[in-house]
Amino acid sequence: MKKYGANALTVLRVLCTPLILFVTNKLLSGIHTQVVEVFILFAFLYFVICSSDYFDGKIARKYGIVSRFGAILDLAADFSFVVFMHIVMILHGIIPAWFMIVIIDRFFNFIITSKIENDWAGQSFHPRFDNLGKYISAVMYIMPFIMGVDYCFFGHELFITNGLVYGIAGISVITSYSRIRNIKSAIAPKANDVNKSL
């Protein structure tokens, strides 16, 4: 059971994603009268998804069952959850459509730079995290929850949501540039060594 526990939590996250998309759409559409009840279900599903994301990695590292398959499955689950939750927010006019570019850039920049680092180290693919990037990714993960709270309970002015959107967009540009620059710095000495040997 320990061997499959981490991946089971990731699969749970995948299965919960369509449910929370349905509940989120219902919460934001205003086609119900029981806002509190729907929000409690929304919050519960969000808690389950965030908990599974937190504990799957913890379990894998604790029992030494980190695998390439598990890492890719985790990234795919995170990507689908974050992207589709933000699409729901865009469809309801809560955030601008251009923010999807920021989200996609975060994921693909992360994957590509991680792959380059792994290739140069002669390793199979494993995610390579940077400290600031971790925090930005965590904020992006919980942003739809904050947006739901902002929209349902603090009026439709969305001051908190707008602050997050523009703040995260600005910081993401900086971290994306930083990852690319760090990768170039890391591979430059090896590239020079290869050229000298030729």
Check which CATH number belongs to the domain holding 92 and give it.
Answer: 1.20.120.1760
Residue type at 134 in one-letter notation: K
What pLDDT does 68 receive? Answer: 75
What pLDDT does 102 receive? Answer: 92
Identify whether 33 is part of a domain.
yes
What pLDDT does 103 receive? Answer: 92
Identify whether 83 is part of a domain.
yes
Is this prediction's pTM over 0.85?
A: no
Contact 86, 99 (CB under 8 A): yes
Contact 163, 146 (CB under 8 A): no
What pLDDT does 32 receive? Answer: 58
Domain, as residue range, for 69: 2-189
How many domains does the chain divide into? Answer: 1
Identify whether 29 is part of a domain.
yes
- In degrees and rounded to multiples of 5, residue 187 shows phi and psi of -90, -15
Identify whether 198 is part of a domain.
no
Contact 145, 79 (CB under 8 A): no
Identify whether 27 is part of a domain.
yes
**Which of these, 94, 92, 79, lies nearest to 25 by C-alpha position?**
92
Identify whether 196 is part of a domain.
no
Written as tens digits, the pLDDT of the chain (198 aa) is: 455 678 888 999 999 999 999 999 999 987 656 788 899 999 999 999 999 988 887 887 777 777 778 878 888 899 999 999 999 999 999 999 999 999 998 888 777 777 676 666 666 656 666 667 778 888 999 999 999 999 888 877 899 999 999 999 998 888 877 777 776 665 655 545 544 555
Identify whether 28 is part of a domain.
yes
What pLDDT does 2 receive? Answer: 54
Identify whether 194 is part of a domain.
no
In the chain, count H helices and then E strands: 6, 0
What pLDDT does 194 receive? Answer: 46
